[in-house]
Every structure is written in C-alpha cells, then in structure tokens.
Amino acid sequence: MKPTIAGAVLAGGQSRRFGRPKAFALHEGAPFFTWSVAALRSVADELYIVSHPSLVDEFRRQTDIPVLLDVERCRGCGPLAGIYTVMEQSQADWVFVLPCDMPYMRQEVTSRLVSYIDPMVDAIVPLHGGRPEPLVALYHRRLSPVIAELLDIGERRMTALLERIHVRYIDTNQLGVEEKVWHNVNTQQEYESRSDRCCF
C-alpha cells in the first residue's frame, strides 16, 4: 500500500531577524508560504500550516489550508513541536516538513525525496554541503513518542532527534536541482538583495 503523507509548512517562528512575519513576504508576487505549499501539494495527501497565534487570522485570510497551533504541552518549542503537532493531528504515515522561508523550493525536490521513502528508516533528510537540512525532510509517524520524550525534557534541537533515530541522508547533489533552491531568507538585507523580490 502506498504510504500516506501529511505536508506541513512550519511558520511558527517570531521572524525576529527579519523584523516582520516572513511567511507573508512576497516572491514573484506570491507570499513565501505559498511556495512551500506548492512544493508539497503534489506529494502530500493532506496539508497543514503550523503557526504562531498572532499569525493565524492572517493565514486564514490568505488560504483555506488548515492552520494549526502547537499542542499546548509544547507550544512555542520550535520545529520539533510543529512536527509533533501534525503527527497528533494526522493519521498519515509520514510528515513532510518545509519551512515557510524557502521561496525557491520546488516540487522536483519534494518528489525526489519522496522517492526515497523506505519503511525501514525513520526519516529522510537531505545533506546540503555535508550538513543536514532537517526542516526539508520526511519523518515517520512512529517518531511521535520519541519527539514527545525530547520535548518533555526540554530538548528542542532537531539534531537531538536525528541522533536518536535511523535516518536516510540524501546528498543534495543526487537531487539534481539548482543551488538556490536551498536558500532561505533570514533578514531584510537578504530579502532586499533578491532581484526578484516584491514589496509587502
């Protein structure tokens, strides 16, 4: 049976360095978060946005995709909490996460990563320049109790999860996509330096 996938766009950060919510900055006339949604749409059986309470109303004005808040026990505890929240919400076999601040992400990347799904591994994570990209990755729902345990002891690092589980790492060179796909936008300076940006 084909495994089911829940696509999750993580948009719960405070965007402190950026100075305003990155999810709604524009790239080629469309909000950043919509590029992540588009990259996931063709591979996911269901889609979610995991956000901060202050952004929920704006997301609901801009999209009909379900917007989740971190489950209360781990609210505000970073990406691990977002992944756990989707696992609590969905019965899908895998959660495919993307951040909201990678507007160059493309469907080719998500499709190729999905092709590496293997029931014998717990996660599928790209290696970009030899470093893991744990927020562009797939996680099996069997990891829910492992993530809960980490959160309960106050551990928020994605690397702490990767160290405990069986990960299949995929070198990004194998994915055959251009380098800029892996760029995220952290500051206004980075945003303003992009020739294809739009104001918001």
Binding residues for Mg(2+), as ranges, are 101
Nearest to 137 by CA among 185, 90, 170: 170
The pair of structure tokens assigned to 81 is: 């909490």
SS in 3 state form for 131-176? EECCCCEEEEHHHHHHHHHHHHCCCCCHHHHHHHCCEEEEEHHHHC
137 in helix, strand or coil? strand
Which residue numbers belong to the known binding site? 10-12, 22, 70, 101
Binding residues for GTP: 10-12, 22, 70, 101
